[in-house]
């Protein structure tokens, strides 16, 4: 019998992250995220999964309000899509650009 999770798809021996097959609970599109002002997003009460896409510049993310470039929990590099399981206690996530401006796509599932 296979171990739980060992039947997930892999590429070069690394598991490929799969988002849950549910309709998005909320979407945030921000084409002018700045490095001077954080954008705080209040999470839907039933959100369990976060999908973050940094389109053209890196983005700092924090599982509380008021992210800064020196106070963050995750860094999403430019041109990448990242998936996260929402920490149980998190009710807000905060984003701030690494450079002067950035484009953000954020989906709650």
CATH number of the domain encompassing residue 61: 2.60.120.10
Residue 50 placed within a domain: yes
Residue 13 placed within a domain: no
Which of the residue ranges 12-26, 34-48, 64-78, 79-93 would you say has the lowest mean pLDDT?
Answer: 12-26
Confidence at 72, pLDDT banded by 50, 70, 90? very high
For the segment 37-63, the average pLDDT, to the nearest whole number, is 94
Q: What pLDDT, on the 0 to 100 scale, is given for residue 14?
A: 72
Residue 1 placed within a domain: no
- Whole-structure pTM value: 0.81
Domain that holds residue 52: 25-108
DSSP the chain: -PPTTTTS-EETTEEPP---SS--SEEEEEEEEESSS-EEEEPPTT--EEEEEE-SS-EEEESSS--BTTB-SEEE-TTEEEEEEPPTT--EEEEEESSSEEEEEEEE-
Residue 75 placed within a domain: yes
Give the model confidence (pLDDT) of 22-47 as tens digits: 788 889 999 999 999 999 999 999 89
Query: How many structural domains is the chain composed of?
Result: 1
Round the average pLDDT of the chain to a whole number and report it.
Answer: 88
């Amino acid at each position: 019998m296979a171990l739980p999770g060992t039947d997930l798809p892999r590429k070069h021996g690394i598991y490929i992250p799969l988002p849950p097959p549910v309709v998005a609970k909320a979407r945030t599109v921000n084409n002018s995220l700045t490095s001077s002002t954080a954008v705080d997003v209040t999470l839907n009460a039933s959100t369990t999964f976060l999908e973050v896409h940094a389109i053209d510049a890196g983005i700092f993310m924090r599982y509380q309000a008021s992210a800064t470039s020196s106070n963050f929990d995750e860094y999403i590099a430019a041109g990448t899509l990242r998936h996260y399981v929402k920490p149980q206690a998190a009710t807000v996530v905060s984003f701030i650009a690494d450079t002067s401006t950035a484009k953000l796509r954020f989906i709650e599932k």
